[in-house]
Amino acid sequence: MFFGIFMVLVYLGMAVLLAIDFFGLPKYLNWLFAVVFAAYGIFRGYREIKGEHSYGMRRYDDTDESEQYMTYAERLKQMENNDEKKN
């Protein structure tokens, strides 16, 4: 989760640096890349809030596909239910 938040800040920070012409690129490239970085940063932030991030750590076996695509909130709920069953 911390890596995801860090990367969102990196993308949005790059968008700001490009918008203020920090790198000295031609103006059209600055704005093009600033818009791309900002859009991707917002997209990553949305996925982080929704809990849909994976960072390549999904399991690819077909035996338990339902757990493979769980959101973070669903996973926590399942873990709480498992803890209640143990007690």
Residue-wise pLDDT tens digits, 31-87: 999 999 999 999 999 988 887 766 555 555 555 555 566 777 888 888 888 877 776
44 and 66 co-located in one domain: no
C-alpha closest to that of 13 among 46, 31, 37, 29: 37
Q: Which amino acid is residue 50, in one-letter code?
A: K
Q: What total of structural domains would you count in the chain?
A: 2
36 and 64 co-located in one domain: no
With the C-alpha atoms ordered 78, 80, 83, 87, is the resulting torsion angle positive or negative?
negative
Is 2's pLDDT higher than 80? yes
39 and 67 co-located in one domain: no
Quote the pTM value: 0.59
The encoded tokens of residue 10 equal 């990196």
8 and 44 co-located in one domain: yes
The span from the CA of 8 to the CA of 50, in Å, is 14
67 and 45 co-located in one domain: no
Residue with token string 């769980």: 70
Question: Range of 82's domain?
Answer: 60-87
